[in-house]
Structure formats: C-alpha cells, structure tokens
Structure 1
Amino acid sequence: MSKKSLLTVFACSTLLLTACGQTATETIYDHLEEAAEIENEGFNEQQQPLIDAEEKEAELYQQIVELDMDSFDEIVSLSDEALASVEERRELIASEKESIEDGYSEFEKAVSNFEELEEEELTNRANEMQEAMDNRYESYQALYTVYERSLDLDQQLYDMLKDEELDVDTLTAHIEETNGVYQERDEATNQFNEYTDAYNDAKEAFYEASDLEVRFE
C-alpha cells in the first residue's frame, strides 16, 4: 500500500577563507549553513525510519490480503502491528516538520541581514534565494498536510480490516481513495524536491556573487 518517499535535503558548503571581522555576507553564510545543518540532521534521523516503516506496512498489508477469514485472528494481529507502525510514522513526520520549521527560523535570521548588503547583484541574488526558500517552505506545509491525510487513511484501512463484517465494495472504495492520496503525496514530494533544488542553486549563486570563498559539497 504505502510508497517510498525521500526528500531532497539542503546542500552544505564550507567557508575556506574569511576576512578580518564579520561581514554581512559572512553573517548570512553562518545562518544559512546553520539552517542546512538543522534540517539535514532532522532528515537523517527521520527519513530512513519513515521508509522502513512504510516498507514494513506494505509487507504486513500483503500478508493480510493473502489470508482468508479462517485466519481472522491473524488478520487482526497483523492489522494491529500495522496500526502501531502508522503511529510511529505519525511521530516521525511530526519531528521532520519540526526540523523544517527550525531550519526556516534560522534562515529568517539570515534574511534580517539582507538589508546590509551593498551590491545590487548580491541583493538580487539574496532576494531570489529568499523567494526559493519561501516556495520550498510552503510546499513542505502542503506535503505535510497530504502526508497526514495518507496516515489517517492508512489507520482507517487497518481498523476496517479488523471488522469481520467488512464488505468488499467498502474496502475497494477505501483503497482507491488511499491510492489517490498516495499519488498526491508523490506529487507534493516531487514539488518539494524541485523547490529544494531551486533553493540550493540560488544559494550557490549568492555565494558565487559574494566575496566569500566557498567550497560546495
């Protein structure tokens, strides 16, 4: 039932050389890279467990549909195991959302220094970076909303499977609805990843236009 989803993370960079004293671009750099570190740390902690849980649920679902009503007790047991996994994913996605929001808050600290930039090109690059980040942040909120919907539908599915009186038409309709939301989730994930790539490109362009010597990783 469930599908894998892997989000694109921020690209990190290393400042090779700084001048004496902290310039506006160096202060912005510090906040941008701190934002990247906050997010990437959160993704590293949450993404693989999320994928593992989804794969586990897919295996459980396959086991369930291969059983008949003579094995109803086993169906209930497997469904309960899948429900526990859904709750685990709910906690993981909430933690992932928190890391996104913490990273965005750190990014806003960089934005507060944009007005100190003196070169027009650098200001333009900074504004493009901010637009890309805002698009990315909004797209994640949309992704989170649809992911929550998919979790609710998965939970409903496994609760339904524990009903001995469940009819095939009801189950089929629910599965079709769930698959539709999975498709929306895949599209939202792709949109988020595109905005992440756009932000990474905008950040790299900002660094290249600045007086910073940065190595991109």
Structure 2
Amino acid sequence: MSKFRFAIILGVAITVLMGCVGGSSPQENIHKVLEETVAEEKQYVEVQKPLQGLEENEKEIYTEIMNLGMKEFDKIVKLSEDALKNISERTGYIEKERKAMKEAKEKFSTLDEFITKLEDEKLKGEAGKLEEIMKDRYQLHEELTASYLDALSQDKELYELFKKKELTMEELEKQITSINEAYEKTIKLNNEYNTKTEQFNKLKQGFYSTAGIDVEEKE
C-alpha cells in the first residue's frame, strides 16, 4: 500500500529574452547546456501525473482488501492481481524516469568545459556551485528511485501474501512494517531531492542575473 506520492519539485524551463552581446560567450554556452538539460528531463516530468494516478488507485485497492473478510477470498485474490499489475506499471514509469534523468545527467556533464572558460571569478564561483548542487541532485535522484523501487518490491510481496488463504496476522503485520519503513526512507530522500532542486533553481537565477542574461520563467 503506497503511502508516498512520487511528486517531485521540478526545474523551471527558461526562455532567453536577451542574451549577452558578441557571440557565444562561456556564460551563454552554460545557459544552453542548462536548457538542454531541462529538455532532457521532459520525459521525467511527463511520468509524474500517471504515476500519481496509479498510486491513488493502488491505495484504493489496498483499502478495499483490508475491508474484506476471508469469506470473500476470491475477490481479495482478484484485487491483489489488480494491485500487482498496478505495481508493474509504476515500475515501468520509474524506469522511464530513470532513463530520462540519466540522459539529462550526461548532457549536464558538458557544463564543466564552459565553466573553466569563464574569466569573471564571481561567475565562475556561481557556476561551480550550480554544478556541485546539480551533481548532488542527480545522485539523490538515483538513490530516490532505487528506494522507491524497493518499496514497490515490498508492496508486491504484500499482495502475494494476500493471495494465501493461510495468511496469518503476524505475517501481514510484519510485511506492513517493512513497507512503512521502505516508504519512510523514500519520503526522506524525496524531501532531500526537492531541497536540492530548489537550491539549484535559486542559484541558476542568480547566475543568470550576474551574467546579464534576461530570462522568462515558464512551468
């Protein structure tokens, strides 16, 4: 039973209104890399809504099962199969998200070559902080997805248990405890990831301001 909604604070897409004059400066190239990185994360953004919908559906299934008695075992088995299908779909979405983030990380890795070309020390320092925060963000995302997949695995075990006629209360309580622990870890990582994303967005706007790049924010 999912106790965690996989809602992540996302990066903000930026459209340049007025760049620096005089061709592709290092700061303009950094801006380009940042926007291409946002574009690579588009698939990651797109999976959030269906993923949340599936989580709500699984929560409803769990509640219905818990309200049924063993005299309705056949219905419990059918609902458990529905939940297992739900978990499989969510796993697919998470893997798609992980792939998108990996591609975004690869795009972002090209930033360093442009940071080294910055002559302004203040700009270089701000860009360096941006790079450090983003690397931490990607590391946290990988830990977050791994934790979430582990929680889904624990959910799967629960619904397999529901299909056992001889299921004991002790077995059920033990598995629910494992699930709660898995989701608590996931929620903690989710909060840390959101914090890093917020820090990155703030630093990015600061960098653009220092670089003299006027931008328009869009969701």
Asked if 1:210 corresponds to 2:211, the answer is yes
**2: distance between equivalents of 1:216 and 1:114?**
23
What's the RMSD between the two structures over aligned residues? 1.2
TM-superposed CA distance for 1:145, in Å, is 1.4
* TM-score (structure 2 length as normaliser): 0.95
1:22 aligned residue: 24
**2: distance between equivalents of 1:194 and 1:81?**
35
CA contact (8 A) 1:29 1:110 kept: no
Written as runs of structure 1 = structure 2, the 5 A alignment for 1:49-128 is 49-128=50-129
TM-superposed CA distance for 1:151, in Å, is 0.7
1:178 aligned residue: 179
2:153 aligned residue: 152
The DSSP-based 3-state class of the residue aligned with 1:116 is coil
Q: Which moved more, 1:14-23 or 1:192-201?
A: 14-23
**2: distance between equivalents of 1:69 and 1:215?**
58
Identity %: 31
> Could you list the runs of 4 or more consecutive aligned residues of structure 1 that deviate by over 4 angstroms after TM superposition?
none
Q: Which moved more, 1:153-162 or 1:41-50?
A: 41-50
CA contact (8 A) 1:9 1:43 kept: no
Q: In structure 2, what residue type is equivalent to 1:44?
A: V
CA contact (8 A) 1:132 1:199 kept: yes
Unaligned runs of 5+ in 1: none
1:42 aligned residue: 43
1:31 aligned residue: 33
TM-superposed CA distance for 1:101, in Å, is 1.3
The DSSP-based 3-state class of the residue aligned with 2:47 is helix
CA contact (8 A) 1:8 1:197 kept: yes
The DSSP-based 3-state class of the residue aligned with 2:110 is helix
TM-superposed CA distance for 1:110, in Å, is 2.2
Q: In structure 2, what residue type is equivalent to 1:198?
A: Q
Aligned length: 216
CA contact (8 A) 2:7 2:48 kept: yes
Deviation per residue, 1:52-76 (Å, 9 max, x gap): 1111111011111111111111111
Unaligned runs of 5+ in 2: none
